[in-house]
Structure 1
Amino acid sequence: MGEFERHSTFFSGFLNSHYLREKDKHIYKKETPLYKFNIIGAGMIGHEHIKATMLEGRATVHGIYDPNQKSVKEALHMIEESFPGHVVHVYDDLKAACEDSDVDGLIICTPNYTHKEIVEEAMKSGKHILLEKPMATTLKDAWIIQQWAESYQNVFQIGLQYRYKALYQEALYEARERNSIGNIKTMMMTEHRLPFLDKVEQWNKFSELSGGTLIEKCCHYFDLLNLFANAKPFSVYATGGNAINFKDFQYEGKKADILDHANVIIIYENGIHASFNLCMFSPLFHEDLTLCGDRGRLYGYENEDFLPYHKPSTHLEVLCGESAPAKITNPCYPETIQNSGHNGGTYYEHRAFVDAIAGEKTKAATPAEGFWSIAVASAADESIQSGKVVNMREFLDRQLS
């Protein structure tokens, strides 16, 4: 079956096929899904994974588990609205959700502090696992999960889906495959955005539960910088603090303690210098990337500023002076995919998950890559606390001993 035919159910949503009898359908014929997934955690990210699974089409959502009954109720309501007639099982406990013999894969999208315990239970089932980022709240727990995953017999994928956004897919292609700007020497990334959104029991406002801002949110960007560098970090230096967000916020008597801004400098073992700037009290969602190599410069951004005039939400340019043609584009996916979550990254992450289950090689984030995204974040947190440059080898030896 060709690539267009395999994914024709996506395109059929834009075209009228209702006049056709079932026996007359070929391109629009609905195939029986190959796999069944259970969603562990039915909050906002759980909704995103449900939608991505159903849109991708080669798997279906078999069931959901969440101890919060309101989350379960809202997930069922969303499924009924988005996928009328689709019935899912609701499990009373985690073990039952993991061990259901009808299920092929488990997608874990629960609060960060639950990941290690849930992974331990999920791995007993031997099913394929997609674990949302960050893989754990501490470096030591991330290391333990990585060790578990190394001997796991089935797919174990980490949900660092930003690498699948259209902007970064194109940037990775230009920088790593085409080598458009030559040998990368410096890298800069920025994230400016609104404060953390509400979560069940506000767990993302507390470092003990989330791992802290740099682990919870910025592991995506450290994963990308690690990918572009294609090397291990040698040292990390960071500054940061809490200037505005949640300074007086308390939940059940506990005071919020997360960063709302930071600057992180990373030097990689191959000599590449990188910097990352975070501000979480900006009135927009904006992220950008600048790579400078010995033959050119790559710059791109993704922007949502909530203003009424229309402009492209992405921009990517590759400038090589007189040595090669310049390129200016607006990377994107079809609208339905682009709007399905994390600007389409979650959809393509699911394609990779299903491809991996089918035995194909993918570029999805591995447990080792998930660990290194947390390693950079953890080192940055230590640098902020100590005011000193953190040598990564010494830091890892101390943290993992």
Structure 2
Amino acid sequence: MKKGKEFANRLHALVPKFAYVPQADRFLMDPGPLKYRFNVIGTGVNGQEHITVTLLEGRNTIHGVYDPNPSSVEGAKRAKARFSTEPLVVYESLEAACNDPAVDGLIICTPNHTHLEVLKVAVQSGKHILLEKPMATNLPDAYEIWQMARAYPKVLQIGLQYRYKPIYVEAIHEAKVRRSLGEVKTLTILEHREPFLDKVGQWNKFSKYSGGTLVEKCCHYFDLFNLFAGSRPVSVYASGSQAVNFKDFEYGGERSDILDNAFVIVEYQNGVRANFNLCMFAPMVYEELVICGDEGRLKASEGVNGQAYSKWENYLEVIALPDRTSRTLTPSYPAVIEETGHSGATYYEHLRWTQAMDGQPSTAATAEEGFWSVVVGVAAEESVKRGTKVGVKELLEANGLGHLS
């Protein structure tokens, strides 16, 4: 049976009206034999999304979880119970969760500032690893993780899944494969959205735990910048502030210090220039990408209006020179997948992880790519503090990484 039909049949299996069909009687709705078992380390909103997409896809399963917060564990149990009657193993320690011989892979979704220490334990297991973004909150930690990944015998993938959002999948294809725009020259990404959500311990309201907004949230977009530019960043200039969100928020005796708006300009070795526009106090979730090449222009967008019940269609247009075709698209995935979160990108990130574990080529973010996304984010945060342009070579040297410049 062709892969597309297998996929459609797995989706049919999720429709409630077919729930009555016993497993022994499932043929079209059977996802096939189980491939891999995963443990999830950290089961907040992102961890539960990873649980959902793993079980939705059907060929892998979530074996167990580790999280010191009981409410997060209960949320993980509910997420698994939607798809499976198999009980969820709950571990009492990180070491136990990482080293269970029944498990093939680990998904790390702990707070940003804990990634390196958690990973040091996880790599001792020799299992495949999916590490959430940003891989670290500072350059020395990010570099150490990159070097760990280089020497690691199994897959160590970084969770920069925005490259799998429908609009970005199509934009990457147009710019990098079809080369519809010719040579890419300039990039613009805009994100206007609501404030950061609550987290256990509210770690995402403090730069020392999150790395700052331009690392925590925006590493996704800087990964896309690096991907489209096809080059290393040379300099970063950013202007930003904490204008609206959490200005009076205190937790544990500390006052929130994260940016809620910024403009970022990135210059690359090959002359590509990119700019990013962020606002995190808008009553919506809206993203826009514009790429200009020497032979055409691409614009893509997606969004949800937070004040009225409406969802804007995903949209992509390519306007090319007269000797090429121009077109408009509405890229999308099946609704049941898009509704799992991140426009379905996490689901497809998992497919790439499985492919890599099977020894197949994967377009998922590597630790090296994760490192360079953090470089741009850290440089942007530093530029906001200084009020001046930050040279990437200077930044790397200041962090003992001058050999990379």
| TM-score higher than 0.5 | yes
Match of 1:335 in 2: 335
Q: Helix, strand or coil for the counterpart of 2:399?
A: helix
> Within the alignment, does 1:62 sit opposite 2:63 as a pair?
yes
Contact 2:267 2:273 in 1 (8 A): yes
Match of 2:304 in 1: 304
Q: Helix, strand or coil for the counterpart of 1:282?
A: coil
Shift of 1:340: 1.0
Contact 2:205 2:256 in 1 (8 A): yes
Match of 1:385 in 2: 385
Distance between the aligned counterparts of 1:83 and 1:63, measured in 2? 14
Match of 1:275 in 2: 275
Contact 1:17 1:28 in 2 (8 A): no
Q: Give the letter for the 2:295 counterpart.
A: R
Distance between the aligned counterparts of 1:190 and 1:110, measured in 2? 27
Match of 2:33 in 1: 32
Distance of aligned partners of 1:128 and 1:22 in 2 relative to their CA distance in 1, 3 Å threshold: closer
Shift of 1:174: 0.5
TM-score (norm 1): 0.96
Contact 2:13 2:30 in 1 (8 A): no
Unaligned stretches of 5+ residues in structure 1: none
Shift of 1:391: 1.5
Shift of 1:22: 5.9
Shift of 1:328: 0.9
Match of 1:45 in 2: 46
TM-score (norm 2): 0.95
Distance of aligned partners of 1:17 and 1:380 in 2 relative to their CA distance in 1, 3 Å threshold: closer
Shift of 1:288: 0.6
Contact 2:295 2:320 in 1 (8 A): yes
Distance between the aligned counterparts of 1:18 and 1:118, measured in 2? 38
Shift of 1:26: 3.1
Larger mean Cα displacement after TM superposition, 306-315 or 345-354: 306-315
> Within the alignment, does 1:125 sit opposite 2:125 as a pair?
yes
Contact 1:215 1:378 in 2 (8 A): yes
Distance of aligned partners of 1:309 and 1:5 in 2 relative to their CA distance in 1, 3 Å threshold: closer
Match of 2:316 in 1: 316
Distance of aligned partners of 1:302 and 1:268 in 2 relative to their CA distance in 1, 3 Å threshold: same
Contact 2:183 2:294 in 1 (8 A): yes
Distance of aligned partners of 1:21 and 1:191 in 2 relative to their CA distance in 1, 3 Å threshold: closer
Distance between the aligned counterparts of 2:308 and 2:150, measured in 1? 49
Shift of 1:341: 1.4
Shift of 1:308: 4.1
Contact 1:312 1:330 in 2 (8 A): no
Distance of aligned partners of 1:296 and 1:152 in 2 relative to their CA distance in 1, 3 Å threshold: same
Distance of aligned partners of 1:17 and 1:278 in 2 relative to their CA distance in 1, 3 Å threshold: closer
Unaligned stretches of 5+ residues in structure 2: none
Distance of aligned partners of 1:312 and 1:388 in 2 relative to their CA distance in 1, 3 Å threshold: closer
Match of 1:205 in 2: 205
1:79-228 matches, cutoff 5 A: 79-80=80-81, 82-228=82-228
What number of residue pairs does the alignment pair up? 400
> Deviations along 1:313-359, whole A, 9 cap, x unmatched?
31110011423222111111000111111010000000001111011
Shift of 1:307: 4.8
Distance of aligned partners of 1:306 and 1:25 in 2 relative to their CA distance in 1, 3 Å threshold: same
Larger mean Cα displacement after TM superposition, 375-384 or 303-312: 303-312
Q: Helix, strand or coil for the counterpart of 1:313?
A: strand
